[in-house]
């Protein structure tokens, strides 16, 4: 048996529904249809009345979740694509994110954002919005890169008392597989050393983990050992693990799929520069997508985001500077 | 599916005199509280804005007075009266405006943003319309838990009806057939913007049919009419007849906030029925229907003013929050707090 | 202010036979184009989704066929036919799906997102409802410039009516009394979501009165009825009678996208009037009203297919954009481009 | 005569309306009332039909502006507070920001965002959203800190062909004054050395410029000469001017009023660390607001954002490390 990233998300939601009567799922087409990507397949039948099709109203969907959370429920809401969360934006950043600070009442909602680029998806079905949400106080932003994390982090997302923006990468949905679902998990909030190395540190997350691991692999025959860190959550950001790695390697490349201005990469570099300046043997580097909307044509898309070969090339620069 | 928009002209005879008295005293208390807030503002003792509901006390009181423990109330800007009728206190009002650490918002948020959500008293954010789906969500969770007979009331202005959030929220409530009463206080203006620049329908109640929900209309300057209309609407929601929309016409008798002299308000409106002071209308109604005498009302007014003074005395002696003792955390799960807080080092 | 929601059952006799033929041929061309897109999709020759309007050609054609040069058309997902009627070409359709650098989107955006805004043919973003205020804005600017007699048409689905953007856009258009026709294609589903989970009003047309705009209703499977209804609506808008809402009932006869088998569609709906194929209905109408013979239609069908083949042949030979030649700029003012582009160094 | 920051914004809009018939203003209460802050006072009377009250519909307001821009108009839209732009967010980041890239048609709109904290304004009337908008490709984000810039940058915002997010700081509206409106201006996109120095560079923008200048002043008697750079626009970000200054001083503190995760400060530090690593003599530092909603109580608010004394204290650390 093997389980995909998408199946892991489905299985975690199933377990959450089974374990906790306060959990329900609300979103467009999540009911009998099972969701645009089938992340809620069969759940409506398994849990009658608890997995419901929503009207085409992202603002109201998130608003409903906040109200339900006030009353003690633990809603999971699905945005059909991360890109559409812009129309539920206000409820996320001003309603959900401020509730605890203002009223002392936690807001245990999970907003699932099918994120990131895929072939031919174009400007409005490809976005990576983790940095936008992480900028706002009051939100936890998860960016699982593995099947195991997709599962265990979804379970933790449902169980913690705060609003979680769950950025699941669509490119990993069907292709990324594991032998089985994990029994144990690293605590959320801790980054993971996905590959140990000594010559340079790559900090990355979500789908870019796999491009980065490939780049690290490609550099082995050139004699380089690259350490790759998977952030897992971008807020909180596990600065300690990053600094410890940079302390060993002295070199840092941060890789992300989001746009270049600001974002996770800027935050990581900024933390290392301010808190670990002395650890750096060379200028840190970063790789982002380009500063345009995500293009539709496969050739443009391939040139818009970092890929393993670009990462490897940049690492060569970093290693020899 | 209830689609007919009903209109009802109301007489007072369905209402219990004790309720009429209670409602009127809440209105008086709200007015006295707000008068005091206005003087505090003028004296520079409140930092930030002061937003009052003068002229809207009757409708606001009616909005929440039929709610019970376990119901949900999501008030908006002009709902000082409805808040008090639902259980908010004058003390918490002043505490919030003055930023007392003992207030429900602990100085973190102010003025009309207060609430005690655990007690069904939701705390609005500023973004108009945004509360509608939240109250709907509260009702949704209650129903999921098997609770019946719960009602949620929220209010909105003529301006707020133009927001996408209002639309999505009311529509969702209608689809889910939630026991939500949406009270539209059509006070003719959104800040300075007149209705003619806000909507083009002949009557805001025409919106009810578009959502497939029941509609009621009343004169918001008339306390008896407001009470009777809201009683019907709340009862209909409680009986499971889905969302109810109440449209009341009235005028706010103050500025948008105390910084605003409302010079844009059409003088003719002030003179018209819509510009009546509901407290005066209510006094006449109570006296004419032999529920109270002018003396009673004078006594209640004094008592309201005294209550306001007492509360203010307490609130003014309370301390604000101490920045050094704040945890400066926006999430509740401590282990997931993001470690990066520059100012903390200072 | 026009507030009455009118309903009109239409006969074909007001329409010029030449127009009927033109409309039908557009419908045929749209169908042939989309059939080809479906095969390209199945053959893996299109990257990304393919979203077709099969069953909606009559309504879509009617939406734009009464527009003139200088008017504005803001089509949505199911508007292949309306696009063609407004001046889009089969060639540009394929170019966009195949990502040709010569297409209007130059490979930067794809499929249904194409447009040529300078020619009044607006290019939708994916977010449903978002186009409504944009078309309103185009009309607003035209009026500000002193242009009269301009009309803008945009369309939306049953699902899209639940968006805040739709609500805000229609309301704003009503307040500004803009010559906007909003065509609601009620095809019973939003992706898999049936109307019962989308709205609770008895009829979507009930929304018109809530905005204070005129309303029309038609059978979207009936080409003649659709044409006559849209003719009236466009004319009313052109004459300055403010926004017009047209609600048409029909069914999409394909999946939401070509990846979707639409297994969720109620079999009874497919059998009902709403499930008719407007191309078949149109053929019968043309023949019965002596506008065309079955042979004519067979010839036109062949011609449409030939046009599609020719266009595809051209588009398939065209190159996609060359990443190395792109300027990778999202703003037009070069001197204000932000200098930081990591990937450029590679 | 003297002119305030707010009057400068009003005057610039007046001039834009007078000079260019394509310009119009649309927003809540901007008509005969003159706007919540009076930034459009008398303009409706002066330019009949071109300064219009909008319905309470931020999404539609921005949408209308984009449509009008397609037709060649140059709309200025006012959000009553920056915080309310969250409900017009989608039209800004997905409609306006992508138009040029997708269709080759520029989108010359200006979205005015009355930004930043003021006394007692609380969580929803105090926000600084520049970083959120700067993250999106396709937008120019201006953050004027002086009366002169408020005027000249508004004029340029209207005249350029791209969507401009104009973040004007409410705290400066009434108190910040200049003798007169400027005749000439530094080009938009160039940062300005607001105060020359040699010991450390403070990079800042908007209201924090004034706190930073005060801090620099306070350090004079301790013998320090602090260079203060006013970014003026945060996108584009004038990396060259920053690097040139750091090359002279070797020390960098970035100060902003926005939340700490990501944002302008992270982007500035990240650029200096990646492009000017060798210029730094010490770890760079940053000061942001705290990671909570902006609190209502004046005492909390004062502790939430950087102030001159906090900046001075941090500079002392920087100078002696
Ligand atoms: C989404 C949003 N936009 C703008 C504002 C600023 N604002 C506060 S009150 C107000 C007018 C509200 O008018 P209305 O809804 O009629 O209520 P009223 O003040 O008349 O009670 C405006 C524009 C806001 N709070 N929310
Ligand atoms: C704001 C937004 N949310 C979600 C989606 C994803 N989506 C694309 S089409 C669709 C269904 C649309 O239904 P409807 O409006 O009825 O149009 P139809 O597809 O039936 O023509 C959905 C949910 C979207 N495009 N925009
Ligand atoms: Mg009002
Ligand atoms: Mg539909």
- Helix (H, G, I), strand (E, B), or coil: what is residue B14? helix
Domain B12-30+49-88+119-302 has CATH 3.40.50.450: no
pLDDT at position C14, please? 77
State whether D25 and D80 are in the same domain.
Answer: yes
Q: How far apart are CA D31 and CA D48, in angstroms?
A: 9
CA-closest candidate to residue D59, choices C210, A53, B130: B130
Q: Give yes or no for B164 touching D (CB within 8 A).
A: yes
Q: How far apart are CA B64 and CA B79, in angstroms?
A: 10
Is residue A236 reached through a cis peptide bond, with omega within 30 degrees of 0 on the bond before it? yes
- C196: exposed, middle or buried (C-beta count within 10 Å: 0-12, 13-18, 19+)? exposed
Answer yes or no: do C323 and A299 touch at CB < 8 A: yes
- pLDDT, one tens digit per residue, over B148-194 is 999 999 999 999 999 999 999 999 999 999 999 999 999 999 999 99
Answer yes or no: do D101 and C134 touch at CB < 8 A: no
Distance (angstroms) between ligand 3 centre and the Cα of B40 equals 24
Task: Identify whether the C-beta of residue B94 lies closer than 8 Å to the C-beta of residue B34.
Answer: no
State whether D217 and D101 are in the same domain.
Answer: no
The answer to the question of residue A248 being in a domain is: yes
Is the pLDDT assigned to residue D60 strictly greater than 70?
Answer: yes
Mean pLDDT, rounded, for B254-258? 96
State whether A26 and A128 are in the same domain.
Answer: yes
- Minimum CA–CA partner of B160 in chain C: C168
Task: Identify whether the C-beta of residue A103 lies closer than 8 Å to the C-beta of residue A59.
Answer: no
C100: closest CA of chain A, how far (Å) = 9
Is the pLDDT assigned to residue D272 strictly greater than 60?
Answer: yes
pLDDT confidence band for C8 (50 / 70 / 90): very low
Task: Identify whether the C-beta of residue D30 lies closer than 8 Å to the C-beta of residue D52.
Answer: yes
Is the pLDDT assigned to residue A67 strictly greater than 70?
Answer: yes
CATH of the domain at A42: 3.40.50.970
Q: How far apart are CA B125 and CA B127, in angstroms?
A: 6
CA-closest candidate to residue B165, choices B201, B208, B135, B196: B135
CA C293 to chain centre: 28
Q: Give the Cβ contact number of residue D4 at 10 Å.
A: 17
Is residue A205 reached through a cis peptide bond, with omega within 30 degrees of 0 on the bond before it? no
Q: Which residues contact A208 (CB under 8 A, 6 or more apart)?
A: A145, A255, A256, A257, A306
Chains contacting C (3+ CB pairs below 8 angstroms) = A, B, D
State whether D163 and D238 are in the same domain.
Answer: no
Q: Which residues contact C188 (CB under 8 A, 6 or more apart)?
A: C158, C194, C195, C249, C251, C265, C266, C269, C274
Q: How many domains does chain D have?
A: 2
CA B335 to chain centre: 38
* Tokens linked to B288: 């004419």
pLDDT confidence band for B340 (50 / 70 / 90): low
C139: β partners: none
Q: Which of residues 196-255 of A touch D (CB under 8 A)?
A: 235, 237
Mean pLDDT, rounded, for B254-264? 96
Distance (angstroms) between ligand 2 centre and the Cα of C160 equals 6
pLDDT confidence band for C221 (50 / 70 / 90): very high
Q: Which of residues 297-316 of D touch B (CB under 8 A)?
A: 297-300, 302-304, 306, 310, 313-314
pLDDT confidence band for C340 (50 / 70 / 90): low
pLDDT at position D192, please? 98
Task: Identify whether the C-beta of residue D245 lies closer than 8 Å to the C-beta of residue A255.
Answer: no
Q: How far apart are CA A242 and CA A237, in angstroms?
A: 9
The answer to the question of residue D220 being in a domain is: yes
pLDDT at position B342, please? 53
- Helix (H, G, I), strand (E, B), or coil: what is residue C261? coil
> DSSP class of residue B138?
H
Best residue for ligand 1 mutational test, from D33, D55, D56 (most atoms within 8 Å of Cβ): D56
Answer yes or no: do B343 and D313 touch at CB < 8 A: no
In this structure, of B277-281, C341-345, D218-222, D260-264, the range with the lowest mean pLDDT score is C341-345
Q: To the nearest 10°, report the CA torsion of A254, A257, A259, A263.
A: -50
- pLDDT, one tens digit per residue, over B24-54 is 999 999 999 999 999 999 999 999 999 999 9
- pLDDT, one tens digit per residue, over C108-167 is 999 999 999 999 999 999 999 999 999 999 999 999 999 999 999 999 999 999 999 999
Q: Give yes or no for C174 touching D (CB within 8 A).
A: no
> DSSP class of residue A72?
T
- Minimum CA–CA partner of B74 in chain A: A67
pLDDT confidence band for A1 (50 / 70 / 90): confident
Q: Which residues in chain A have Cβ-Cβ distances shorter than 8 Å to D136?
A: 259
Residue nearest to atom 17 of ligand 2 (CA): C157
Q: How far apart are CA B316 and CA B309, in angstroms?
A: 10
pLDDT confidence band for B13 (50 / 70 / 90): low
Q: How far apart are CA A260 and CA A238, in angstroms?
A: 21
Q: How far apart are CA D255 and CA B97, in angstroms?
A: 31
- pLDDT, one tens digit per residue, over A84-127 is 999 999 999 999 999 999 999 999 999 999 999 999 999 999 99
Start-to-end CA span in chain C (Å):
61
pLDDT at position B339, please? 74
Is the pLDDT assigned to residue C299 strictly greater than 90?
Answer: yes
The answer to the question of residue D184 being in a domain is: no
Q: Which residues contact A262 (CB under 8 A, 6 or more apart)?
A: A131, A135, D131, D134, D135, D262, D263, D264, D266, D267
- Helix (H, G, I), strand (E, B), or coil: what is residue B172? helix
Residue nearest to atom 12 of ligand 2 (CA): C190
Q: Which residues contact B53 (CB under 8 A, 6 or more apart)?
A: B30, B34, B60, B77, B78, B79, B80, B81, B252
CA-closest candidate to residue D264, choices D245, D246, D237: D237
State whether A116 and A138 are in the same domain.
Answer: yes
* Tokens linked to C257: 């996208």
For residue C156, the surrounding DSSP H or E stretch is strand C152-157
Helices (H) and strands (E) in chain C, counts: 11, 7
pLDDT at position A150, please? 98
Is the pLDDT assigned to residue C344 strictly greater than 90?
Answer: no
> DSSP class of residue D294?
P
A36-67 per-residue burial string, b: 16 or more CB within 10 A, e: under 16: bbbbbbebbeebeebbbbbbbbbbbbbbbbbb
C61: left (phi over 0), alpha (psi -120 to 50) or beta: alpha
B236: left (phi over 0), alpha (psi -120 to 50) or beta: alpha
Average pLDDT, chain B: 94
Task: Identify whether the C-beta of residue C163 lies closer than 8 Å to the C-beta of residue C133.
Answer: no
Q: How far apart are CA A41 and CA C235, in angstroms?
A: 47
Is the pLDDT assigned to residue B3 strictly greater than 60?
Answer: no
pLDDT at position C94, please? 98
Is the pLDDT assigned to residue D179 strictly greater than 80?
Answer: yes
Q: Which residues contact D86 (CB under 8 A, 6 or more apart)?
A: A89, A90, A93, A94, B127, D129
Q: Which residues contact A259 (CB under 8 A, 6 or more apart)?
A: A128, A288, A289, A290, A291, D135, D136, D137
pLDDT at position B232, please? 97
pLDDT confidence band for B343 (50 / 70 / 90): low
D206-239 per-residue burial string, b: 16 or more CB within 10 A, e: under 16: bbbbbbbbbbbebbeeeebebbbbbbbbbbbbbb
> What are residue D192's phi and psi, to 5 degrees?
-130, 135
Ligand 1 near B264 CB (within 6 A): no
Q: To the nearest 10°, report the CA torsion of D40, D42, D46, D51.
A: 40
Q: How far apart are CA D239 and CA D262, in angstroms?
A: 17
State whether A40 and A173 are in the same domain.
Answer: yes
pLDDT at position A56, please? 98
Is the pLDDT assigned to residue C45 strictly greater than 90?
Answer: yes
The answer to the question of residue D224 being in a domain is: yes
State whether A205 and A134 are in the same domain.
Answer: no
Q: Which of residues 83-102 of C touch A (CB under 8 A)?
A: 99
CATH of the domain at A205: 3.40.50.920
Mean pLDDT, rounded, for B311-328? 97
pLDDT confidence band for C240 (50 / 70 / 90): very high
* Ligand 2 atom closest to Cα of residue C77: 21
**Single pTM value for the model:** 0.98
Is the pLDDT assigned to residue A180 strictly greater than 50?
Answer: yes
Among residues A128, A145, A178, the one where a domain terminates is: A178
B41: left (phi over 0), alpha (psi -120 to 50) or beta: alpha
Q: How far apart are CA D26 and CA D111, in angstroms?
A: 10
Is the pLDDT assigned to residue B8 strictly greater than 90?
Answer: no
The size of chain C, in residues, is 346
Is the pLDDT assigned to residue B6 strictly greater than 70?
Answer: no
Is the pLDDT assigned to residue B10 strictly greater than 60?
Answer: no
- pLDDT, one tens digit per residue, over D3-52 is 999 999 999 999 999 999 999 999 999 999 999 999 999 999 999 999 99
Domain edges within chain B = 12-30+49-88+119-302
B185: β partners: B157, B248
- For residue A69, the enclosing domain spans 3-178
Q: How far apart are CA A63 and CA B134, in angstroms?
A: 5
Mean pLDDT, rounded, for B71-97? 98
Is the pLDDT assigned to residue D196 strictly greater than 50?
Answer: yes
Q: Give yes or no for C342 touching A (CB within 8 A).
A: yes
State whether A30 and A164 are in the same domain.
Answer: yes
* Tokens linked to C60: 């879509």
Active-site annotation of D, residues? 125
Q: Which of residues 30-69 of C touch A (CB under 8 A)?
A: 46-49
Is the pLDDT assigned to residue D1 strictly greater than 90?
Answer: no
Best residue for ligand 2 mutational test, from C112, C159, C255, C256 (most atoms within 8 Å of Cβ): C159
pLDDT at position A241, please? 98
Is the pLDDT assigned to residue C339 strictly greater than 90?
Answer: no
Is the pLDDT assigned to residue B5 strictly greater than 70?
Answer: no
Is the pLDDT assigned to residue C341 strictly greater than 70?
Answer: no
State whether A245 and A283 are in the same domain.
Answer: yes
* Complete DSSP assignment for D178-223: ESS--SS-PPTT--EEEE--SSEEEEE-TTHHHHHHHHHHHHHTTT
C91-126 per-residue burial string, b: 16 or more CB within 10 A, e: under 16: bbbbbbbbbbbebbbbbbbbbbbbbbbeebbbbbbb
A286: β partners: A254
């Amino acid at each position: 048996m093997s389980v995909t990233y998408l199946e892991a998300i489905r299985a975690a939601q199933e377990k959450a529904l089974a374990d906790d009567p306060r959990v329900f799922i609300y979103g467009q087409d999540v009911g009998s249809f099972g969701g645009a990507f089938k992340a809620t397949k069969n759940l409506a039948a398994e849990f009658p009345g608890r997995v419901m099709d929503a009207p085409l109203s992202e603002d109201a969907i998130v608003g409903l979740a906040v109200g339900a959370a006030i009353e003690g429920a633990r809603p999971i809401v699905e945005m059909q694509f991360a890109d559409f969360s812009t129309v539920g934006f206000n409820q996320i950043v001003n309603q959900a994110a401020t509730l605890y600070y203002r009223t002392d009442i936690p807001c245990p909602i999970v907003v699932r954002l099918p994120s990131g680029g895929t072939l031919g998806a174009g400007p409005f079905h490809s976005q990576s919005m983790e940095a936008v949400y992480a900028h706002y106080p009051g939100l936890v932003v998860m960016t699982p890169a593995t099947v195991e994390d997709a599962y265990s982090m979804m379970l933790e997302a449902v169980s913690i008392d705060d609003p979680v923006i769950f950025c699941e990468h669509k490119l990993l949905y069907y292709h990324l597989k594991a032998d089985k679902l994990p029994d144990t998990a690293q605590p959320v909030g801790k980054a993971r050393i996905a590959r140990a190395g000594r010559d340079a540190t790559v900090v990355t997350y979500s789908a870019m983990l796999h491009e980065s691991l490939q780049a690290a692999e490609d550099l082995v025959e050139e004699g380089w050992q690259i350490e790759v860190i998977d952030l897992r959550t971008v807020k909180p950001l596990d600065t300690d693990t990053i600094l410890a790695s940079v302390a060993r390697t002295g070199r840092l490349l941060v890789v992300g799929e989001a746009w270049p201005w600001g974002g996770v990469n800027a935050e990581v570099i900024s933390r290392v520069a301010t808190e670990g300046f002395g650890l750096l043997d060379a200028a840190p580097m970063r790789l982002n997508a380009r500063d345009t909307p995500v293009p539709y044509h496969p050739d443009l898309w391939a040139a818009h985001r970092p890929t393993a070969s670009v990462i490897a090339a940049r690492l060569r620069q970093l290693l020899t500077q | 599916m209830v689609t007919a928009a009903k209109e009802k002209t109301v007489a007072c005879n369905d209402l219990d005199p004790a309720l009429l008295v209670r409602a009127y005293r809440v209105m008086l208390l709200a007015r006295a509280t707000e008068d005091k807030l206005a003087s505090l503002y003028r004296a520079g003792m409140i930092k930030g804005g002061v937003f009052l509901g003068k002229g809207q006390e009757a409708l606001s009181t009616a909005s929440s007075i039929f709610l019970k423990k376990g119901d949900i109330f999501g008030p908006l800007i002009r709902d000082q009266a409805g808040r008090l009728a639902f259980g908010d206190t004058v003390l918490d009002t002043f505490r919030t405006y003055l930023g007392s650490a003992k207030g429900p918002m602990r100085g973190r948020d102010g003025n009309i943003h207060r609430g005690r959500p655990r007690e069904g008293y939701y705390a609005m954010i500023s973004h108009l319309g945004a509360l509608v789906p939240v109250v709907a969500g509260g009702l949704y969770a209650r129903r999921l838990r098997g609770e019946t007979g719960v009602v949620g009331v929220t209010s909105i202005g003529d301006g707020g009806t133009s927001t996408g959030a209002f639309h999505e929220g009311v529509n969702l409530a209608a689809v889910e057939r939630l026991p939500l009463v949406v009270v539209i206080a059509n006070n003719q203006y959104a800040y300075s913007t007149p209705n003619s620049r806000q909507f083009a329908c002949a009557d805001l109640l025409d919106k009810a049919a578009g959502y497939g929900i029941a509609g009621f209309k009343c004169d918001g300057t008339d306390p008896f009419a407001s009470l009777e209309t809201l009683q019907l609407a709340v009862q209909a929601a409680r009986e499971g007849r889905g969302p109810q929309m109440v449209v009341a016409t009235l005028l706010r008798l103050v500025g948008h906030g105390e910084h605003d002299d409302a010079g844009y308000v059409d003088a003719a409106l002030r003179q018209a029925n819509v510009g009546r002071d509901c407290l005066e209308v209510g006094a006449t109604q109570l006296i004419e229907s032999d529920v109270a005498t002018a003396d009673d009302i004078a006594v209640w007014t004094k008592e309201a003013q005294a209550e306001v003074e007492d509360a203010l005395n307490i609130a003014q002696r309370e301390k604000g929050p101490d920045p050094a003792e704040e945890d400066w955390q926006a999430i509740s799960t401590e282990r997931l707090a993001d470690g990066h807080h520059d100012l903390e080092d200072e």
